[in-house]
Each structure stands twice: as structure tokens, then as C-alpha cells.
Amino acid sequence: MKKHFVIFMSPGTFVAEQTEKPIASWDVNKAVEMSKKITERYNSKPYGFYFTTRERKRGELDSKVVKSSGMYYLGGKIITLKEIKARKDPKDATLISNMECNEYERVVETNNSWRWVQPLYKGDTVLEYEKG
């Protein structure tokens, strides 16, 4: 048995909030529409989502993730470490330190509800997005 899910990620206090919903297929447009109905604590809205496929074989008690997608960001701005350093904003000190320590070359900054910055990995996609 195989089933697909979409996991919505929203800004949280210390870590991201997650909401998982079943979906018929890895349909990006459908997931974008579904994201508009998700609200987490403090009226936080999703900054992105990713898909998983879970499978359970005959005789297995629990399913396991057999495939997952990259992150799909709902809009946002891609910013390089070089660009962040050039801003010379003291508020960026922790971000710069984290990027250097973890060797992140670029991040994506979203503002769908709260400002949220995440590393941008190979396989991630920043979608054109309008709140609504």
C-alpha cells in the first residue's frame, strides 16, 4: 500500500510547525491551494511544503517514507552569504555565523506571515506566490 502526503512548514517559536495532509499525488498547484487553509499558532502561515510517499508492504505493521521531495518555498527571496555580509546589518550576525559554520552559500527568506530564513538546498524550489 502506498500513500502520498504533503507536509506544510510554518514559522514556530524555536522550530518550524508542521502540518501533514494526505494528497492524491505530488501536485504542486494543489498543495499551494491547500497551504492557504493552514494556520498554526500565532496565526503563522506556511512558508513552504514538501511531499513524501509512504509505503507499507503486506505483513508490515507500520509504513515508512520511501520517497520525499525537496522543499517548495511559497515565494521568498534567495540571498547569498556575500549579499548578507554586504548589508553590514548587525542583526545579521547570527545568520552569518550559522551560514559560515554550516557552509550554507545561500538562504531563502520568506515573509508569508513571519520572517523565516532557511538554507536553500539543491532540489529546493522557490515558487512565485501571492498570499491569499
The model's confidence at residue 107, banded by pLDDT at 50, 70 and 90, is: very high
pLDDT value for 132: 61
101 and 67 belong to one structural domain: no
19 and 34 belong to one structural domain: yes
Looking at the structure of the chain, the number of domains it has is: 2
With cell 514556530, the residue in question is: 12
Give CA–CA dist 39/72, Å, rounded: 18
pLDDT, tens digit, for every residue of 11-62?
998 899 999 999 999 999 999 999 999 999 988 999 999 999 999 988 888 9
Q: What is the mean pLDDT of residues 119-127?
A: 96
67 and 80 belong to one structural domain: no
Q: 89 is in which domain, residue-wise?
A: 76-120
Instruction: Return the higher-pLDDT residue of 48 and 113.
Output: 48
φ/ψ of 47, rounded to 5, equals -95, -15
pLDDT value for 80: 97
87 and 39 belong to one structural domain: no
Q: What is the mean pLDDT of residues 90-115?
A: 94
pLDDT value for 17: 94
Any domain includes 25: yes
